[in-house]
Structure 1
Amino acid sequence: MCGIAGFINYGPQGSASARAALKPMIDSLIHRGPDAEGVWADDEGRVALGHRRLSIIDVSEAGAQPMDSASGRYTIVFNGEIFGFLDARTAFENAGVKFRGHSDTEVLLAAIERDGIDGAIAESAGMFAIAVYDRKRREVTFVRDRIGKKPLYIGVGNRKLVFGSELKALIANPEFERPSIDREALGLYVRYGYVPSPRTIYEGVIKLPPGSCLTVSVDEPPASSADLLEGVRTYWSAFDAVANGTKACIADETEALDAFECTLDRAVRERLVSDVPLGVFLSGGIDSSLIAARTQAIAGQSIQTLTIRFGEARFNEADFAAEIAQYLGTQHLELTLTPQAALDAVQEMPRVFDEPFADPSQLPTLLVSRLAREHVTVVLSGDGGDEILGGYGRYAMMRKMERMAQRVPSFLPKLASAVPTSVFDHGLQLARLALPRGMREEVSGDRIGKFCEVLSHDNFRARYREFISQWHPDELVLGTSGQAPCAYGDAAVPAPSDHLKTLMYLDTIAYLPDDVLVKVDRTSMAASLEVRSPLLDYRVFEMAWRMPDSLRVSSDGVGKVALRRLLERHLPKELFDRPKQGFSIPLNDWLRGPLRTFAGDMLSSDRIARAGLFDHRLVERRWSEHLSGRRNWGQQLWTLIMFELWKDRWEQ
């Protein structure tokens, strides 16, 4: 695991000058690779490749990068891991190939020598972002893993192509002019809380999409970032995996479960290969509990498990995690998240996330990553189960809303969505005593307003986009229509696809790589920790889509049936059979309490108006409503706070 950076200079200036320009780029990524650094440039200074190393496999100098292939034709920088590489190494050795060390990078280069870049990647399972220079063809090829676990940013400007694991590496290049904010990308950010691929917050900079390659000449510069995107080619797609899996469905539940468990166990086993200490994130939920149970069984010894405890009971799963750890016999550690620890971590967010990012679970994920790094260098996680097997609570909610949308005349929710939320509040004051006690705090005017707004749209895709939207960009962001294309509104969906499968697929290609995996990558790498996710092995993903519908969501709306059934084979049901809680913080309360002064500074009308990006009157109104307790705008306000923090750090 590591950080990579580099450039193609279309005005070559010599090797020494190229190395000097490369040095600050890789220095900006030291957190991703604190153990060593490597720089390489060709004689002309046309191609420069840099690497920061977190030593996981072959910690000797033989595993250092940039690394040349045996023939000298290829030079590679590689962020990530190739899982199952030991079997490939054995096959190469049987064919007479000699290796200098025992790293997966060297095995990957051997595969590239034999099969070419496209052929080698097609046969490689793992998480990776790669740049390979081919001296013979005078090309650099960039590759990103299938699901999008490892990031790769590429920018064009000033007769230079720059790339890196994080945006800060591009900005650190002294000859790359800082790009302007992309207002359409900003509109997408305030809607979703992240910037969807392939856009970035900057004009002229892209994210290489998951499952794709891009080959660029070192002699002929691309005209623009749009020109780069036209050259992207796909070597694997979730679309094809879903379509093919649906066609090859395993109808028998027991057969499907056995096949899924076998595939998952292989993924876990391959992820246990490490030359440094390894543990497992254990939240107490279904996904992480299954990964902990299988890791403990396959490792054949007591493993390290780690979790985080919240002071607020409704956010806390630490007791469940402790019970599961005790049953499994793991070495268990936990960290308590206090408001003060969160406040301290908030100030670090723009350093950790150099692109605006507003998933509040970024705070506990950073802190639990730091806890883990005190004891291990690698952890396994349960990420991916919700997307591949229908685990999110919003799926059940959307299906209920969809049934309602089919019954209610379309003009009614359109009329209701125009009603001021205060009217709903007054009505609820009269009706609240008639509601069951458990629903009194759950039902509010703003939730009813949101419900009506969702139902006011004319089709299922539009209703889901509204359901997950935080702000309407055309209302908040100045100078944009708010109509930028994004997967939720524009991506093709494999057919035939029911509503649940549509939601799972859309979240797989958007929310998963651009929110969940960004959060995990940046926070873990900020702590110099490698996270491996067996449920996101592409073979596990493909097998999950071969499962019958009955193993996704039960008849009473409970998701991840397959994972629950598998977990029953290894844990008593009473240890995990409970409602999903998620991994979040009491954001609404903290913004009115310990974070109030800080948030008020970030959201002040003067500050927002001066920047000229957002409608300051709308922001002021939402902040005032939140402080009064009349509304819970915590997530929406957090999105703006994270942007303002980012702007303070990166736009000076």
Structure 2
Amino acid sequence: MEIIVCGLFGVYDPQDLDKSRARKARDILQHRGPDQSGEWIHDGLYMGQRRLSIIDLSDAGRQPMVTEDKNVAITVNGEIYNFKALRTELEKAGYTFFSQSDSEVALYGYQHWGLEGLAKRIEGMYIVIIFDAEKQKLFAIRDRVGIKPLYYFHDGHRFAWASELKALTSWLGKEEPSVDESAIFDFLTYRFIPAPKSLYRGIYKLPAASLMRFSLTESTISVQPYWSLSVEERDESHTDLRKELVSLLEQNVEDQLISDVPLGFLLSGGIDSSIVTYMGAKEASQPLTFYVDFTGSGRTEAPYAKEVATLTNSHHRSFTFLNIEMENLAEKMANWFDEPFGDTSCVPTYLISEFARRHVTVVLSGDGGDELFGGYPWYADYKLIHDLQNSKVFSNLPMFPIPSWLPHKRLIELLQIKDPIAMYARLRKSLPEKKLILWSKKLGIPGDYDALWAYRAHFNQKLSPRKAAQVMDFHTYLPDDILTKVDRVSMAVGLECRPPLLSTKIVEFAFGLPEEFIYKNNLLKGGLKYSLEGLLPGSILYRKKQGFSVPDFGWKSNLRSQYGSIQEALLQQTLGYE
């Protein structure tokens, strides 16, 4: 079997396809695929790929892959976890395979089931690009959660796509499009730029769980979802929910252990990474676990990580950073992310990825657990503020300037915000309203522009505050912050990071859980903790959440004192906005 993760670049230019320019853009993504490159060219169409091999290190699955009649070509970034079952189904239908590749399964799967049929069947972390010569159309499929990225450009006659923004701006060269000021304003609101926007006008992100169709003959694009998140609650006993959840965790972690190269686990000692490590260790003999720490942090998780490593009989590797050269690292980060990104946890995520890459090529992580099982403290805060706003004491709280000396100033500020979406955005540390107004004038943002459009698109007022917040985060914060962060820094060092908690079955199960189970005993992740009792020790399950952060070392406080906020510092340092 051959599975690869890689970088994709392609372009359709019917008037003047510049192959060397296309190859240069493809090779900008060499860090995502250092092992090999591939390309396929057909009548103004260039499909290119950089390859990082994970399973079956031969050339059998080299991409782009093309059918014998040259009618269909395909490139795949990532992995299709259920390709073996789909391959068996296709073999029964008469298809003959010439490789052990999941890409070949996707190729014949498209021919057999069609685009939507393929999209609904495949499970994993992937971008699939398909060219159909007979239909004269290009198609793209992005995985349901948004683990793998895709950017695209269209100017009316040319169409281009890439795994990272830098490949498109490299290909455009002097034609680089102008900065979209509304995207910058969105960044100040969310601390990331939500899909489908990017930093530039004319370049877009394909949203998670989306199909894109591009017609070569008409030069038109359409994007539609092929999957939607259901929040219909399950009517089962807590005992049954517990059994089913544990079974799903066991199966989906096991499904992602396949690799012909060294594999390990990122282990912080928190619940999510601990249960992934625990379930994986049952199948992997003497797994490798990785942990990084920082002097001066004042809150180490090393004892918890060590406890889980001992429990799972892992070869535990840890490293303590004495200091971090932030100037050099900040320059690298700007190159990796290509657009403003305000999550400072990208620093420790990079450091643990770089440390793990010295020993392995694939790691499993616990990403997604907080969104699925209610782990973020702001979910409890959102409910508290909502309940207070609807109480007799605070329901008619007037708007008034809040003096800086007033106790509980932030709580009173949040209580004054009546729009539940605006209140959530402020709770999630968007800039204060006064600063946003100043920045809107600097950027020339129209007065009627609604920067909360991404939250509004996914806000369900029928849900309780906590579940509504989980759904908003699943569609925005998870793909455009958490998964973007992990993809960029892990790919920067040639490391594949798999998040088994984000398999479709676990996602659908988690969002169908009743709120009283999710927050059982009125605890964040209460249902998950209850389900894992007897598997993980109470010292892991019931300790206070810490989060993955890096100590100040002076750089964060310097940025805040000089610029007011990290968001503003990033804009002023990288884009020159003052």
TM class by smaller structure: over 0.9
Q: Which moved more, 1:473-482 or 1:97-106?
A: 473-482
Q: Is the 8 A contact 1:287 1:563 kept in 2?
A: no
Aligned CA distance change for structure 1 residues 39 and 315 (closer, same or farther; 3 Å): farther
Cα distance per residue 1:105-145 (max 9 Å; x no partner): 11111211211122111100011112111011000011111
Task: Name the CA distance, whole Å, in 1 between partners of 2:460 and 2:283.
Answer: 36
Alpha carbons 1:18, 1:41 under 8 Å: kept: no
- Note if 1:458 corresponds to 2:458: no
Following superposition, the deviation at residue 590 of structure 1 comes to 3.5
1:352 — aligned with what?
Answer: 336
In structure 2, relative to structure 1, the CA distance for the partners of 1:577 and 1:312 (3 Å cut) is farther
Give distance in 2, aligned partners of 1:467 and 1:399: 11
Instruction: Report the residue type matching 1:345 in the other structure.
Output: L
With over 3 angstroms needed to count, the CA separation of the structure-2 counterparts of 1:547 and 1:158, relative to structure 1, is: closer
Q: Which residue, 553, 564, 571 being the options, matches 2:536? A: 571
- 8 Å contact from structure 1 (residues 191, 470) kept in 2: yes
CA distance in 2, matches of 1:215, 1:350: 31
Q: CA deviation at 1:411?
A: 5.5
Which of 534, 545, 548 is 1:580 aligned to? Answer: 545
The 5 Å alignment of 1:219-298 reads 219-222=217-220, 228=221, 231-238=222-229, 241-242=230-231, 245-246=232-233, 249-298=234-283
The answer on whether the counterparts of 1:360 and 1:587 sit within 8 Å (CA) in structure 2 is no
Of 328, 333, 356, the residue aligned with 1:372 is 356
**1:470 corresponds to which of 419, 427, 430:** 430
Kindly report which structure 2 residues correspond to 1:99-498, keeping only aligned pairs within 5 A, or say none. 99-157=97-155, 159-174=157-172, 177-222=175-220, 228=221, 231-238=222-229, 241-242=230-231, 245-246=232-233, 249-299=234-284, 301-407=285-391, 408-409=393-394, 412=397, 414-415=399-400, 418-421=401-404, 423-424=405-406, 448-471=408-431, 472=433, 473-477=436-440, 478=442, 479-481=444-446, 483-487=449-453, 489-494=455-460, 496-498=462-464
Higher helix content, 1 or 2: 1
Partner amino acid for 2:81? Answer: F
| Aligned-pair CA distance for 1:481 | 4.1
Structure 2 match to 1:533: 499
* Change in CA separation of 1:335 and 1:588 when aligned onto 2, cut-off 3 Å: closer
User: What's the CA shift string for 1:534-582, capped at 9, x where partnerless?
Assistant: 11111110011222323211333x2112321333232222244201000
Query: Residue by residue, what CA displacement relative to the aligned partner does 1:87-108 show, whole Å, maximum 9, x if unpaired?
Result: 2223333444322211111111
The aligned residue for residue 641 of structure 1 is 569
SS of the residue 1:528 aligns to: coil
Structure 2 match to 1:23: 23
Letter in 2 for 1:114: H
Runs of at least 5 residues in structure 1 that lack an aligned partner in the other structure: 223-227, 429-447, 600-621, 627-632
| Structure 1 residues 639 and 335, CA gap change in structure 2 (3 angstroms) | farther
Q: Distance in 2 between matches of 1:341 and 1:570?
A: 40
Structure 2 distance, partners of 1:572, 1:397, is 27
| C-alpha distance in structure 1 between counterparts of 2:194 and 2:183, whole Å | 8
Distance between the aligned counterparts of 1:315 and 1:352, measured in 2?
Answer: 28
User: What's the TM-score, normalizing by structure 1?
Assistant: 0.83
The residue type equivalent to 2:22 in the other structure is: L
Deviation at 1:9, TM superposition (A): 1.0
The whole-number CA distance in structure 1 between the counterparts of 2:324 and 2:429 is: 29
Residue 367 of structure 1, CA deviation: 0.9
Corresponding residue of 1:438:
none
* Distance of 1:375 and 1:83 partners within structure 2: 24
Shift in alpha-carbon separation, 1:107–1:332, aligned structure 2, 3 A: same
Aligned residue among 503, 508, 512 for 2:469: 503
Partner Cα distance (1:124, 1:555) in 2:
37
C-alpha contact (below 8 Å) 1:127/1:145 kept by paired residues: yes
**Structure 1 Cα separation of the partners of residues 142 and 154 of structure 2:** 18
The separation in 2 between residues aligned to 1:373 and 1:161, in whole angstroms, is 35
SS in 1 for 2:60: helix
> Which piece of structure 1 moves more, 32-41 or 155-164?
155-164
- Alpha-carbon distance in 2 for matches of 1:326, 1:561: 25
Report how far residue 195 of structure 1 moved: 0.3
**3-state SS of paired residue (1:387):** helix
Q: Is 1:562 paired with 2:527?
A: yes
What whole-Å deviation, never above 9, does each CA across 1:582-632 have from its counterpart, x for those lacking one?
01123485434xxx4xx4xxxxxxxxxxxxxxxxxxxxxx635x8xxxxxx
Give the aligned residue type for 1:90: T
The offset of 1:451, in angstroms, is: 2.2
CA contact (8 A) 1:153 1:167 kept: yes
**Shift, 1:219, TM fit:** 2.1
Query: Structure 1 residue 485: deviation in Å?
Result: 4.5
Residues 218-254 of structure 1, C-alpha deviation per residue, up to 9 Å, x if partnerless? 12224xxxxx4xx21110022xx22xx42xx042111
2:161 aligns to what SS in structure 1?
A: strand
For the residues of structure 2 that align with 1:318 and 1:147, how far apart are their CA atoms?
A: 30
**1:139-165: CA deviation from partner (whole Å, max 9, x where unpaired):** 001111111111110112373111100
Runs of 4+ in 1 over 6 A off after TM superposition: none
Secondary structure, in 3 states, of the residue corresponding to 2:53?
A: coil
Distance 1:293 1:71 in 2: 47
* Equivalent residue number for residue 32 of structure 2: 32
Does the Cα contact within 8 Å between 1:283 and 1:317 map onto a contact in 2?
yes
Q: 1:389 to 1:404 in 2, by over 3 A?
A: same
Number of aligned positions between the proteins: 566
Distance in structure 2 (CA, Å) of the matches to 1:487 and 1:270:
37
Paired letter, 1:642: L
Q: What is the root-mean-square deviation in Å for CA atoms of aligned residues?
A: 2.2
Take 2:99 and 2:39, find their aligned partners in 1: how far apart are those partners?
20
Which of 7, 21, 44 pairs up with 2:11?
Answer: 7
Q: CA offset at residue 494 of structure 1?
A: 4.5
TM-score (norm 2): 0.93
Letter of the aligned partner of 2:466 in structure 1? L
Q: CA separation of 1:28/1:484 partners in 2, compared to 1, >3 Å: closer, same or farther?
A: farther
Which residue among 508, 533, 547 is the counterpart of 2:513? 547
Amino acid at match of 1:367: L
Gaps of 5+ in 2: none
* Letter of the 1:503 counterpart: A
Is the contact between residue 157 and residue 177 of structure 1 (CA under 8 Å) also seen in structure 2?
no
CA distance in 2, matches of 1:490, 1:572: 40
Compare 484-493 and 149-158 and name the one that shifted more. 484-493
Aligned residue number for residue 445 of structure 1 = none
Residue pair 2:138, 2:214 contacting (<8 A) in 1 also: yes
CA contact (8 A) 1:148 1:513 kept: yes
SS of structure 1 residue aligned to 2:382: helix
Change (3 A) 1:286 1:264: same
